[in-house]
Amino acid sequence: MLLRHAESGWRQDDFERSLSPHGKRTVPLVGRHMQRLGYAPTFVLCSPARRTRETWAYVNSALDGETTEDLRPEFYLAEPNTLLGAVRAIDDGHLNVLVIGHNPGLLALALSLANDDIRADNPFGDFPAAALAVFDFDVASWADMLPGDGTLIGFTPPDKLEPAP
């Protein structure tokens, strides 16, 4: 699963930017959406930037289960190869992984994971803030995951999420 951080404010230093009021309203919807569909990560790779950590905190509060979190400095504005390398190194005991990061690296990673048909259509657009892409890979090990082998299960931009009644 790939999740771009929710919308952030602009008044702080880039690394310390916190979620905007809109982002704080939107990202809990993502967590509830994930919970409803059974998207329960057991491992989270997350940029250490404030807005990504806040995004994870909101999402995590809506999810059930235990999750191992890994914040790495190199994920801040990371290139897709850095993100993919980290995913490929995950312990195979984790079946569901969530990567929370930034554009343009997250969009590039999503496009690289998708098969040729999906890549050509680019359903991700510019991969808006708080958007979630879910892929499935038919592999025995994370290390076997290769670009282009992903089956896109779903892509949910935040404007497609409905507020709780």
Beta strand pairing status for 151-156 and 132-136?
Answer: antiparallel
What is the torsional sign of CA 135, 74, 57, 123? negative
Give the sheet arrangement for strand 151-156, strand by strand. 68-71, 43-46, 97-101, 2-4, 132-136, 151-156
At residue 109, the 3 state secondary structure works out as helix
The per-residue pLDDT for range 10-45, each reduced to its tens digit, is 777 889 999 999 999 999 999 999 999 999 999 999
Using the predicted structure, report yes or no on whether residue 165 has a pLDDT greater than 60: no
The pTM score is: 0.94
Using the predicted structure, report yes or no on whether residue 114 has a pLDDT greater than 70: yes
Q: Answer whether 37's CB lies under 8 Å from 153's CB.
A: no
Separation between Cα atoms, residue 88 and residue 137, nearest integer Å? 12
The mean predicted confidence, pLDDT, of the chain is 93
Q: What's the pLDDT at 121?
A: 80
Using the predicted structure, report yes or no on whether residue 119 has a pLDDT greater than 90: no
Q: What's the pLDDT at 164?
A: 59
Q: Which CATH class is domain 2-160?
A: alpha beta
